[in-house]
């Protein structure tokens, strides 16, 4: 199961309904918004995982945080601390508010939803992704396996989402997504 499916299916859609209600969207609109935001964030997670420090940071966050709560109990998404947590994740992944705005703008263009709504949704999407990763990594026995693509780790949740053209390589898809999200300076 990829990370988007894990989020959308969490608690029979309760996470999607909770996020939607917080930003004023119907469940179908919230699903559409997540379908636009999650791949962009997944590309950034994938990019971070390719560095030693990014990999260590993710493993540390997964082992020390309580991110699984966002999937287990979607009502926790209404806690203001969740947005703070999500903004911290976004800061690590995206690096700047300008990039966050660009991700929201691109998602708005894809979905027809307002960029301001999608900006408010971004931290919630980030926490849900970490929640899905946390749940997935808790099902495997070692930190190496928690990341492994074939063993059901975090990479197995990212790869199907990132290999959208089914070309067998996620590199072209990640490059394309990152290129759409981050403008060259």
Could you tell me if 135 and 62 are in contact, meaning their C-beta atoms sit under 8 angstroms apart?
Answer: no
Query: What's the rounded Cα separation, in Å, for the pair 71 and 61?
Result: 16
Q: What's the pLDDT score for residue 166?
A: 42
Calpha distance 147→139 (Å, rounded): 11
Nearest one of 114, 106, 122, 118 to 177, comparing CA atoms: 106
Is 164 a residue whose pLDDT tops 70? Answer: no
For the chain, the 3-state helix, strand and coil shares in percent, each to the nearest 5, are 80, 0, 20
Please provide the average confidence, as pLDDT, over all residues in the chain: 79
Q: What percent of the chain stands above pLDDT 70?
A: 74
In this predicted model, what pLDDT tens digit does every residue of 45-59 receive, in sequence order?
888 878 778 777 777
The residues spanned by each domain of the chain are: 3-180
Higher pLDDT, 100 or 166: 100
**pLDDT, tens digit, 9 for 90 and up, residues 2-43:** 889 999 999 999 999 999 999 999 999 999 999 999 999 998
């Amino acid at each position: 199961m990829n990370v988007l499916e894990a989020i959308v299916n969490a608690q029979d859609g309760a996470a999607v309904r909770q996020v939607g209600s917080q930003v004023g969207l119907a469940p179908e609109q919230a699903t559409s918004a997540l379908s636009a935001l999650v791949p962009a964030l997944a590309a950034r997670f994938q990019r971070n995982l390719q560095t030693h420090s990014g990999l260590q940071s993710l493993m540390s966050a997964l082992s020390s945080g309580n991110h699984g709560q966002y999937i287990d109990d979607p009502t926790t998404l209404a806690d203001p601390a969740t947005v703070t947590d999500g903004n911290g994740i976004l800061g690590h992944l995206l690096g700047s508010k300008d990039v966050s705005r660009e991700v929201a703008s691109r998602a708005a263009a894809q979905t027809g939803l307002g960029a301001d709504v999608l900006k408010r949704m971004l931290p919630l999407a980030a926490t849900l992704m970490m929640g899905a990763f946390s749940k997935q990594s808790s099902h495997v026995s070692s930190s190496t396996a928690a990341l492994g693509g074939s063993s059901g780790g975090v990479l197995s949740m990212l790869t199907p989402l990132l290999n959208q053209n089914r070309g067998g390589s996620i590199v072209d898809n990640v490059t394309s997504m990152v290129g759409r999200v981050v403008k060259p300076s």
